[in-house]
Amino acid sequence: MVDSGKDLSKGRMNIAPPLYAKPEVTMSKKLLEDYKRKLRKALDHLEYSSKKIQKFSLDHQLGEEELETMESYTARMSRVSDIFVTKYLRLLISYEDPAFEGSVRDICNFAEKMRIIDKADTWLEIRSIRNTTAHEYEEADLLKFWQRSKQLGPIVIKTVRAALK
């Protein structure tokens, strides 16, 4: 027999919590913990790469080793931002609004309103790095891209670490 929540003998609602959690709630909590675990691991890798690039001046053409390190750094930053925005934030937003089916822009705007991130536009720029790494650019453009990536990395690390607490 399914408990409808109504105590028909007394004409009032039974407000006691159910004896078991709904399967979708249990699954979403497990999923949230899985995303947190993946984010922590990905953040550790990003922080490792971030420490390596701090010594780079990024005002000249990069050598092969520097280039490889910068590519690793941007790939790791892209991975963290991808998990954070499209998985972790989307799931958190679904707790607030179960019918939410928004775009990445909508996710960032909602997360800004929830005060999880400071500026939606900054996170949209961070997300665009992922697309930028897939294209070839002139050396001057690439240096500007590396410089901006180096500036945005600490924002990613700080924001995601704070969100995971």
CATH number for the domain that contains residue 124: 1.20.120
- Please give the structure tokens belonging to residue 72: 């690793």
Tell me if 159 is assigned to some domain. yes
The CA distance from 156 to 114, in Å, is: 17
The answer to the question of residue 72 being in a domain is yes
- Residue 59 domain flag: yes
Mean pLDDT is highest, among 3-12, 14-23, 25-34, 146-155, for 146-155
Residue 131 lies in a domain: yes
The first and second tokens of residue 106, run together, are 């909508």
Q: What is the pLDDT of residue 66?
A: 86
Whole domain around residue 71: which residue ranges? 22-164
Would you give the end-to-end CA distance of the chain in angstroms? 40
Residue 76 included in any domain: yes
Which tens digit of pLDDT belongs to each residue from 78-94?
Answer: 999 999 999 999 999 99
Tally of domains in the chain: 1
**Is residue 115 in a domain?**
yes
16 is a domain residue: no
In a domain, 8, yes or no: no
- 114-154 pLDDT, tens digit per residue, is 999 999 999 999 998 877 765 656 666 777 888 899 999 99
